Structures are given as C-alpha cells and as structure tokens.
Structure 1
Amino acid sequence: MNLQDTLSKYVKQAVKDIFNAELEAVEFQATRKEFAGDITVVVFPMLRVVKGNPVQIGEQIGAYLVEHVEEVKAYNVVKGFLNVEIDDAYYLNFFTSIAGNEDYGFVTPEPNDKAIMVEYSSPNTNKPLHLGHIRNNLLGYSVAEILKASGKKVYKTQIINDRGIHICKSMLAWKRYGNGETPESTGLKGDKLVGNYYVKFDQEYKNEIQDLVAQGLSEEDAKKQAPILLEAQDMLRQWEAGDKEVVDLWTKMNGWVYDGFDITYKNLGVDFDHLYYESQTYLLGKEFVTEGLKSGVFYKKEDGSVWCDLTEDGLDEKLVLRADGTAVYMTQDIGTAIQRIKDHPDVGGMVYTVGNEQDYHFQVLFLILKKLGFDWAKNLYHLSYGMVDLPSGKMKSREGTVVDADDLVDEMAATAKEISDELGKLDGYTEAEKIELYKTIGLGALKYYILKVDPKKRILFDPKESIDFQGNTGPFIQYTYARIQSILRKAGSALEGAYADIELHEKEKELLKQLQLFPEVVQNAAFNHSPALIANYTYDLVKEFNSFYQNVSILGADNDNDKNFRVQLSKMVGVVVKNAFSLLGINVPERM
C-alpha cells in the first residue's frame, strides 16, 4: 500500500471515529513550498459530511494521524489544508527497496494476459515519409513501449497502403518519363525516387487540365477527362485484373519504397512486429457484410448497396458495400480488424494511431464491430493526434512541399552540431564520437519536442527551439543524465546498502518523492495513451535533481554515509531518466 492509500484509509477512519461520519474519498495535493509538510489533505470537501470549522476538523484529524500512523511525525493546519509531515525513515525505506533496480517502474506482463496490438505509420507507397508520419511513428512506438512497461504484452503493426489510384499515378509517371532510372542509377533512396514521380504526375495532370480548359471544357470536366488521369485509372483496373506487366512494375516500384522506408524507420529508431498490406486486405470484410445482413446489423437499399444505420447512436448511415458489390475503406477496416484477431488469438484490444481527421471513421468502425458481436471491440482505441505545422506553413505531398523525414533527421543532427560547437561542450571527443552524439542529441530533441505535447494538440515544430540546452527540451534532460554519469565516474565504487541513520536534506526528500511517482506515471500514461505524461514527469524529475545538485554537496559530503547515499540517489535518478526516455524512444549519452 502506498503512502496516499495508507493516509486515505486512516483519514476515513478518523472521520468515522471522531465525527461518526462516512467519507467516500480523500482529496490530496502537494504541500505548498512555504509550509512544512510532505503531503496535504484538503479538508473543505469533508464539510459535506462533517459540520464545523475546517481548521478545527483538520487539527483533530492531524492529531489522530500522528497517534495512529507510524509514518506521520507532525502536522500543521493552514485554513482548510492539513499539511502532513512524513518521517525520514519512510523515504529511506522506500529508497532501500528500489536502489539498484534497473527496471524500476516497469511491470512484467503476466503470461496469460491478453495482448494489445498497436498500429502506427501505415504510409502510402507513393512517396517518402514526412513530418506528419514522424509524429505518427513516434506516438505509436512510444505508446506501445509504455503499454509494455505497464505490464501488457504488445504487438506493433502497420498496414501499408500499397494499392490504389495514388500508387498508379507514380507508376504511370515513371513509365512515361523515367527512362528506366532506378535508385541505384540515381543514388536516390527508393521512396524519394518514387515520390518524385508522384509530384511529376501532378505537374503533368495540371498541364493537361489547362490545355483542356483552353479548348473549352469546364475545369470540373477537364479534371475528369485529362488523359493522364484516365490512363492511371485504367492502370488500376489492370492491376486489379492481375495484368502481369502492371503487377511486375507495381512489385518493382513498391520494393524500392520498402527499402527506403526501412532506412527511415531505422534512423527514427522505430520497429514493427508484423506488417499488413492493403493489397492483401482490401477484399477482406465482404463476408462479414453478408453475416451482418443476416443478423440485421446492415440493410440493403434498392440499388443493391449495403448500409449500416447508426442514427440511433447519434451518428449517420454508413455505406459498407457499393451497389456494384465493391468494398469501401470501412469494409476493409472491418475485415482487417477481424483478421488480426484470427492471426493473433491472444489479442484483446487494438490501438490505432491515426490523425484526428479520421475521428469519425473510427467512431463508426468501433461501433459496427461492437454491433457485429465482437467482444474485443470494446477494447479498441483511436490514438487521435493533431497536425504538425512548421513556421513555413502547411505541407502538400503532390506539390513536393512536404518536410521529408530523412531530411529533418539530418537537419536536427546538423543543428545539434552547430549549437554544441557554439557551446564548446565536446572537447576531447573523436570525430566519430561527435557525429554519433549529434545524432543522439538531434533525434532526442525532435522526439521530445513532439512527444511532450498532448497527442490531441496541434504542434508548431521549431527545430532550433527544440535543441535548446535549457528548459523543457530533450537535450536539457540528456545533459543532466550525462552530468549524473560524470558524478558516478568520479565517485568510483560508492557502497549500496541501508541508509537508516541519515537525516534527509529537504532537497533529498523532494527528489525521493519525485522518484516515488514514476511507477504511477507509467500506469497513467498507459491508461491515457499519452507519452506527454512521461516526458513532462522526466522534466520535473530532472529539475528536481538540478536543484538538489546545486544545493547539496554530493562528493564533498561531510561523511561517507551521506556521500554514499547521495551518489546512489543520483544513480537512481539516472536509471529513471534512462527508463523514462526509453519509453519515448530516446537514447541518453554517457557523456556530453
């Protein structure tokens, strides 16, 4: 039982014994810095069941706690706030229980527990990954790691959108204008080469529209009748019919893109356990439409199209099968979800990392799956996130104005180099060590800047601001971690052990309180699917450590007991920073 649970139990008992009243819940808050105390009980909400002066009520409960709770050594009451002081022994016992535990805060999954599948990335194979994909990948990967740390078994997956008209546009442009060029012949990553032809298609398409408008067509008709678009649509029909030449070209160009994606994923430090391809899933789901028609979940209109009426649930009617019998995205998503459970019977829930423009789609998908009677559908979650903007404005893939993911990662490393060189922090490093460190700092800055924001909020990303070595940034936290490692190297072999005879400095106690919170923060972050809770906790921990570092002498302590304790306390802060950052996919440097 943690301290808050213990105090809650005894405060309720105090109210019962003293005032003969039942208290449903106890409200706590952190004690304000200007008052003595470690945790504060808020008395005002108790006035619903206990009549009287809040100060006198607080005094009576405080006296009860001192008498009955071993950990409580003193109290004071300020207006309606009961500030409780906790004995040092409580914090020292806590520290003894975690010291040296490299996995502190992490829970091992139970063998028979249901797994969670986390889907993220899921790109189209007609262009490279861009800044929007970066937020998606970082969020999905981090949430998967947090769920794992909270005690869940996790599968990371993506569905690669490798079919459709957008793929055929790149294929057709390469066929027309590519002159047989390849990633090898151009020196370009395959996804970038294919992306260039997606842009080329759009340029040629616009030219043809202008020509048709000049010949007297309306712009709307010109958009539908442009020869290059008609040819791309025909190519899609040929692909669906299994035309060998078209399928071979599709296989070759998708292969180039996959190779390019693999490099980007490696650079970003994200991975997957299982891959799904839209070319293999786009026909799934139709059989469940038939089942749903029989059970009354769906109904058929006169034209033969099949719909789901969700108006009683506050939504609208949703098409699940066109009149010609072809599937829509909703049909495919229904089929893919069911297929994943067939492939992984131990999966009991799924997290979909997809931008907030798809909020309604997922509301509908989850509701339909529930109506179809799938028990696991109640454990589906849409990890919805906002757009990422740059100071320069909005991105458009087809116009070639996106911020390429690889370029951004390189730019972050270059910015880290520039700032590190200005600060002169890397004396004595070899060139290879410097390059590796620039990557670690640059990528850490990028990931932290994006993940410290609540997923639902839109982000304005400023690369330079993210690499500041002061404030709520990745590099500031990495620098503090490196400082701790420096202390440990200088300390040599400080002893671990019991610390019963130590009188805690106020800054040591604050640091211990912060360390105590970590397991709960991991659980909250998992429950809320929010890496921001981990990021901002880590910043608070590091701020608390720096305050401790500035106010308490670690290596120059008055005696060996205090020195050993402070070294071990610093080491444990380092462990938690490393563990927390691993959940964000961020590496920490041993020196900086």
Structure 2
Amino acid sequence: MNLQETLEKHIKQAVADSFEVAIPSVEFQATRKEFAGDITVVVFPLLRFIKGNPVAIGEQIGNFLVDQVAEVKGFNVVKGFLNIEISDSYYLNFFNEIKDEATYGFKPISPNEKAIMVEYSSPNTNKPLHLGHIRNNLLGYSVAEILKASGKKVYKTQIINDRGIHICKSMLAWQKFGDGETPESTGLKGDKLVGNYYVKFDQEYKKEVESLVKEGVSEETAKKEAPLLLEAQAMLRKWEAGDPDVVALWEKMNGWVYEGFNETYETLGVDFDKLYYESNTYLLGKSFVEEGLKKGVFHKEDDGSVWCDLTEDGLDKKIVQRADGTAVYMTQDIGTAIQRIQDFPDVGGMVYTVGNEQDYHFKVLFLILKKLGFDWADNLYHLSYGMVDLPSGKMKSREGTVVDADDLIREMAETAGEISEELGKLDGYSEAEKQALYHTIGLGALKYFILKVDPRKRILFDPKESIDFQGNTGPFIQYTYARIQSILRKADVNLKDSVSSTGFELHEKERELLKQLQLFPETIQQAAAQHSPAVIANYTYDLVKEFNSFYQNVSILGADTANEKLFRVQLANSVANTIKNAFKVLGIEVPERM
C-alpha cells in the first residue's frame, strides 16, 4: 500500500469516527511550496458529506492522523487545505526498499492478463521513411514499451502497404527511365532509389498533363488520361491478375525497399514482432461481409454494394464492399484485425498508431467490429497524433520535398557534434567515441523533442532547439545522467551498504527528490493508461530538475558524515537508474560520460 492509499484509508476512518459519515474517496494534491507539508488533502469536497467549517474539519482529521498514523509527524490547515507532514523514517524506509531495484517502477508481466498488440510505422513501399514516419515509429515503439513496463504482454506489429497504384508508379518509372539501376550500382539505399522513381513519375506525369492541356484537353481530363497514369493503372491490373513479369518486378523493387527500411529501423532503435503485408491482407474481410449480412449488421443496395448504416450511432453510412465485389480499405482493416486475433489468441486489445486524419476511419472500424460481436473490440485504441512541421513548411513526398528520416538522423548527430565541440566537453575522447556519443545525443534529442509533446498535438520540430544542453531537452537529461555517473566513479563507497537511520534527518532537497522518485511507478501506469510517452518524458525532466536543485544545494561527496555521504551517493544512483528506466521506455540511450 503506498502513502496515498494508507492516508486515504485512515482519513476515511477519521471521518467515520468523528462525523459518523462514510466518504467514497479523498482528493489529494501536492503541497504548495510556500507551506510546510508533503501531501495535501483538499477538504472542500468533504463538505458534501459533512456540515461544518472546512478549517475545523481539517484540524480534526489532522489530529486523528498524528495520533493514529506513524508516517504522519505534523500538519497545518490553510483555509480548506490540510497539509500533511510525513516523517523522515517513512521516506528512508521507502528508499531502502527501492534503492537496489534495477527495474524500479516496472511491473512484472502478468501471465493472466490478455496481451496487447501495438501497430506502428506501416509505410508505403514507394518511398523512404520521413519525419512523419519518425513520429509514428517513436510513438508506437514507446507506447509498446510503456505498456510492457506497466505489466502487460505486448506484441509490436506493422502492416506494410506494398500494393496499389502508388507502388506501380515507382515500378513503371524505374522500368521506363531506370536503365537497370540497382542499389548496388548507385550506392543508394533501396528505399531511396525507389523513392526517386516515385518523384520521377510525378515529374514526367506533370509534363504529359501540361502537354495535353496545350493541345486543348481540359486539365481535369488530362490528369485522368495522361499516358503514364493509364500505363500505371494497367500495371496494377496486371499485378492483381498475377502477371509473372509484373509480380517479379514488384518483388525485386519491394525487396530493395525492405532492406532500406530495416537499416533505418535499426538506426532509429525500433523493432517488430510480426509483419503483415497489404498484398496478403487486402482480400481479408470479404468473408466477414457475408457474416455481417447474415447478422443484419450490413445491408446490400440494389446495385449490389454492401453498406453499414451507422447513422443511429452518430456516424454515417459506410461502404464495406463495392458493387463489383471488391473490398475497400475498411473491409481490409476488419479482416486484418480478426486475422491478428486468430494469429495471436492471447491478444485482447490493439493500439493503432496512425495520424489524426484517420480519426473517423477508426471510429467506424471499432464500431463495426463491436457490431460484428467481437468482445475484444472494446479494447481497441487509436493512438492519434498530429503532424510534424518544420520551420520551412509542410512536406510533400511526391514532389521530393520530404524530410528524409536517414538524413535527419545524420544531421542531428552532426549538430550534436558541433554543439559538443563548442562546449569543449569531450577532452580525452577518441574519434570513434566522439562519433558514437554524437549519435546518442543527436538521436536522444530528436526522440525526446517529439515524445515530450502530447501525441494529439501538432509539432513544429526545430533541430537546433532540440539539442540545447539546457531546458526540457534530451541532451540536458542525458548530461545529468552522465554527471551522476561521474559522481559515482569518484564516490569510493559501497552502494550495497546500509544507511543508518539513527539520528538521521533529511535535508528538504533530499525529501523533495525522494518524493519525486516515489511517483515513478504511478507515472508508468498513468502513461500506459493514457498511451502517452509525454507523461514519462515530462516526469523525467521534473526529476532531473529536482536532482540539479539537490546537487546545487547539498554537498554529496563533501557530506559531514560518512553515513550522509553514503545516503546521498545512493540517492544519486537511484535517480540515475530511474532516468535510465524512464528513457528506456522512450527508446533513448543514456551515455556514461559526456
């Protein structure tokens, strides 16, 4: 039972004994800095159950707690707020329980709970990964790790969009203009090479449209009848018919892309347990259209198309099968969700990491799955996120103006190097050590900048701002971790030794730091419930601020007694472990020195 639960139990008892009333809950908040106390009870909500003066009620509860609860050493009441002071022994007992826990804050995976599948990345194979994909990958990976840390079994997956007209555009452009180029012959990553031909298609297509318009064809007709587009559409039909030459070209070019993607994923530090391919899943779901028709969830129009009427649920009518019998994206997503549960029977819920332009799609998908009678449909979550903008403006992949993921990661490392050199912090490092550190700092800056923002919000990403060594940034937190490692190397103490609590009195900065450490397990659970890495990121920044305030106000290695020194070194070590654990679920590495 944690402190809040202990206090709530005794406060309910105090109210029952003193006022003969049962209260459902107690509202707590952090004590304001200007008042003495460690935790505050808000008395005002109790006035619904107890008649009287809030100050008098607070005094009565406070006296009860001092008499009955060993952890409470004093209190004060300010208007309707009961500020409770907690004993040093309570904090020392807490610290002794957690100081040797390498995975403090993480719950073991419960074997009895259903697993969760988290989908993220899900790129198209006609272009390399870009800045938008980076936000998607970082969010999905981090949420999966946070859920795991909260005690859930997690599977990470993606569905690769490897079919359709966009893929055929890249294939056709390479066939026409590529002259047999390969990743080996050009030295380009495969996803970059294929992406270049997607851009090439658009350039040549625009030329054809322009030429047709000059010949007197309307722009609308020219866009539909440009020869290149007609050829790409014909290629798609051949692919769907299983034409061996088209399928062979598709397999070759997709193979190039997958190799490129895997390289980027490895650099970014994300991974997957299971891959799904749209080429295998686009026909899934059609059998469930029949099932839905039998159950009355769907209905057939006169032209043969099949629809789901969701107007009574505040949504609209949604097509699930065209008149010609072909599936739409919704049908495919229904089938893929069901297939995943069949593949992983222990999965009881799914998280879809997809941009907020698809909010409506997922409302419809989840509702249809519920109507089809799948109980796990109650545990589906759309991790909706906003776009990432750059100071220079919006990205457009077909025009070749996207911010390439690999280029951005490399530039972040270069910027980290420039700033580190300016600060002169790397004396005695070999060139290889410097490059590895620049990569750690640059990638940490990128990840933290993106993850510290609520997923639903749009981000303006500024690379320079993200690599600041001061403020709410990844490098600032990494530097604090490295500073603690430096203290530990100089400390000359045994971290396993026990601190004597006899005559021991906590400095207020020590107490504040312990209070912040105590919040970490609860923060993990909160972040998991909200599917928000921002909760962890901002907790870590607050922890680091508390540590730096402690470091500036209290001498660690120059403590008055060996006992105090041992405690402070152990406290610094626990802070470092918690930073490392928090950054682990964000997918960020921490350097041992900087």
Work out the CA distance in 2 between the residues paired with 1:476 and 1:162: 40
Work out the CA distance in 2 between the residues paired with 1:571 and 1:459: 34
Moved more, 57-66 or 393-402: 57-66
Contact 1:92 1:499 in 2 (8 A): no
The one-letter amino acid paired with 1:444 is G
Contact 1:477 1:539 in 2 (8 A): yes
The Cα shift of 1:238 comes to: 0.3
Q: Which residue number corresponds to residue 397 of structure 2? A: 397
The one-letter amino acid paired with 1:470 is Q
The Cα shift of 1:494 comes to: 2.9
* Correspondences of 1:230-379 after superposition (within 5 Å): 230-379=230-379
The Cα shift of 1:261 comes to: 0.3
Q: Which residue number corresponds to residue 7 of structure 1? A: 7
The one-letter amino acid paired with 2:501 is A
Moved more, 245-254 or 53-62: 53-62
Q: Which residue number corresponds to residue 35 of structure 2? A: 35
Question: Given the alignment, which residue of 568, 574, 586 partners 1:572?
Answer: 574
Q: Percent identity?
A: 80
Contact 2:499 2:566 in 1 (8 A): no
Q: Which residue number corresponds to residue 558 of structure 2? A: 556
Q: Which residue number corresponds to residue 412 of structure 1? A: 412
Work out the CA distance in 2 between the residues paired with 1:291 and 1:82: 60
Q: Which residue number corresponds to residue 592 of structure 2? A: 590
* Correspondences of 1:106-121 after superposition (within 5 Å): 106-121=106-121
Moved more, 277-286 or 23-32: 23-32
Work out the CA distance in 2 between the residues paired with 1:406 and 1:111: 38
Contact 2:122 2:161 in 1 (8 A): yes
Q: Which residue number corresponds to residue 503 of structure 1? A: 505
The one-letter amino acid paired with 1:87 is S
Work out the CA distance in 1 between the residues paired with 2:23 and 2:463: 51
The Cα shift of 1:111 comes to: 2.3
Contact 2:115 2:155 in 1 (8 A): yes
The Cα shift of 1:207 comes to: 0.7
**What residue ranges of structure 2 are gaps of 5+ in the alignment?**
none
The one-letter amino acid paired with 1:287 is S
The Cα shift of 1:417 comes to: 0.5
Q: Which residue number corresponds to residue 531 of structure 2? A: 529
Q: Give SS of 1:270's match.
A: coil
Work out the CA distance in 2 between the residues paired with 1:387 and 1:492: 49
Q: Which residue number corresponds to residue 540 of structure 1? A: 542
* Correspondences of 1:203-214 after superposition (within 5 Å): 203-214=203-214
Contact 1:96 1:499 in 2 (8 A): no
**TM score, norm. by length of structure 1:** 0.99
Q: Give SS of 2:519's match.
A: helix
1:104-143 Cα deviation digits (max 9, x unpaired): 1111112232111000000000000000000000000000
The verdict on how the C-alpha distance between 1:282 and 1:92 changes in structure 2, with shifts beyond 3 A counting, is same
The Cα shift of 1:484 comes to: 0.4
Work out the CA distance in 1 between the residues paired with 2:493 and 2:416: 33
Q: Give SS of 1:398's match.
A: helix
Q: Give SS of 1:494's match.
A: coil
The Cα shift of 1:499 comes to: 3.8
The one-letter amino acid paired with 1:280 is N
Contact 1:494 1:567 in 2 (8 A): no
1:297-321 Cα deviation digits (max 9, x unpaired): 1000000000000011100000000
1:52 to 2:83 alignment: no
Work out the CA distance in 2 between the residues paired with 1:45 and 1:25: 9
1:512 to 2:509 alignment: no
Q: Which residue number corresponds to residue 95 of structure 1? A: 95
Work out the CA distance in 2 between the residues paired with 1:299 and 1:387: 36
Work out the CA distance in 2 between the residues paired with 1:488 and 1:363: 51
1:153-197 Cα deviation digits (max 9, x unpaired): 100000000000000000000000000010111111000000000
Work out the CA distance in 2 between the residues paired with 1:166 and 1:138: 25
1:54-74 Cα deviation digits (max 9, x unpaired): 111111111111011111011
The Cα shift of 1:498 comes to: 4.3
The Cα shift of 1:228 comes to: 0.3
Q: Which residue number corresponds to residue 483 of structure 1? A: 483
1:83-119 Cα deviation digits (max 9, x unpaired): 1111100000000101111011111112232111000
Q: Which residue number corresponds to residue 171 of structure 1? A: 171
The one-letter amino acid paired with 1:442 is G
The one-letter amino acid paired with 1:500 is S
Work out the CA distance in 1 between the residues paired with 2:79 and 2:379: 45
* Correspondences of 1:180-199 after superposition (within 5 Å): 180-199=180-199
Work out the CA distance in 1 between the residues paired with 2:38 and 2:82: 11
Work out the CA distance in 2 between the residues paired with 1:107 and 1:53: 42
Q: Which residue number corresponds to residue 79 of structure 2? A: 79
Q: Give SS of 2:157's match.
A: strand
Work out the CA distance in 2 between the residues paired with 1:444 and 1:433: 16
The one-letter amino acid paired with 2:219 is E
The Cα shift of 1:217 comes to: 1.2
Moved more, 51-60 or 205-214: 51-60
